[in-house]
Amino acid sequence: MLRLSSLYRFPLKSCKAEALQHASFDRLGLAGDRRWMLVDESNGRFFTQRALPQMSRLS
């Protein structure tokens, strides 16, 4: 038997997680998980934590 000990989602891709007490799911998976990302308007490229590790502190 599996037991879920904690649950997190990342509303902003590559940024800090938020702990959840309850969750809901929709057709895309965990509601609100990785639905947004930061994009450089000048070139259309998105930012990643791999390139900018300090993104892990953004929430």
- Domain enclosing residue 28, as ranges: 7-59
- What's the domain count of the chain? 1
Q: Which of 3, 5, 10 is nearest to 56 (CA)?
A: 10
Q: Which of 40, 27, 34 is nearest to 8 (CA)?
A: 34
Cut 0.75: pTM above it: no
The verdict on residue 27 lying in a domain is yes
The verdict on residue 34 lying in a domain is yes
Give residues with Cβ within 8 angstroms of 21, minimum separation 6: 7
pLDDT in tens, 1-54: 999 899 999 999 999 999 999 999 999 999 999 999 999 999 999 999 999 999
The verdict on residue 1 lying in a domain is no
